Amino acid sequence: MPLAVELEHVDFAYVHGQPALRDVDLRIEAGEFVAIAGPNGGGKTTLLRLALGLLRPTAGRVLLFGEPPQRLRDRSRLGYLPQRAAIGVQAPATLREVVTAGRTAVRPFGRMRAEDRAAIEEAIDLVGLTTLAKRPLGRLSGGQQQRAFIAKALAANPKLLALDEPTTGVDVAAQEALGELLERLNRELGVTILYVSHEFGAIEQVVERIVLVRERIVFDGSPSALPDLWHDPSHVHV
């Protein structure tokens, strides 16, 4: 089975900007739960966008499920929650309508079938929002909106779920609930999870591996090894 994500000697620089990433090597196996952490401006979001094919590397090679991301034929295998400035979305759509939109990745031009409707309801149930399915998105709390967008991504039954700063604007209780939800999705469904954040308290107890990015990968390993790293700054500075 090919790796879920592979980056080999990847460099990236924005136009007329300083290099965002330099000589990055990263391999993520299918079914892993990986946190990509680092300071603001350290390159973690850039790394995620490269992995998903939303950016092209300046140098090096990126593979997604063994293929260049731009050639991946079945994009429904990917669930992506991009960074949002604020959780408080005001939209007339109901939670179920939002999740239904996620299912169109599987059947963009066809009518919804019974299996599609079942997948939508299962996704809503997985995030614990069945009783709120008819409620407008704007009337949900920040944590509930967050789970609604996760359900939207899950409706297509993705093999990889990528979340960029998913705890922005939500309280501690919602962050902890998110960590528990993601751990269950990874354990029970085998979904590969990439969780990007400048902090990782919400998933520190459930994540298998942390990749620390500061233009380069300066740490890649178990969370249990990270505290020693923080106590010696010489290990983490580029």
**Could you give the CA distance from residue 94 to residue 138 in angstroms, rounded to a whole number?**
8
pLDDT digits (tens, 9 = 90+) for 102-153: 888 777 666 788 999 999 999 999 889 999 999 998 888 888 888 898 899 8
Length of the chain: 238
Q: How many CA atoms lie within 13 A of 221 on its CB side?
A: 8
**Could you give the CA distance from residue 206 to residue 44 in angstroms, rounded to a whole number?**
20
Mean pLDDT of 176-195: 89
pLDDT digits (tens, 9 = 90+) for 30-54: 999 999 988 888 899 999 999 999 9
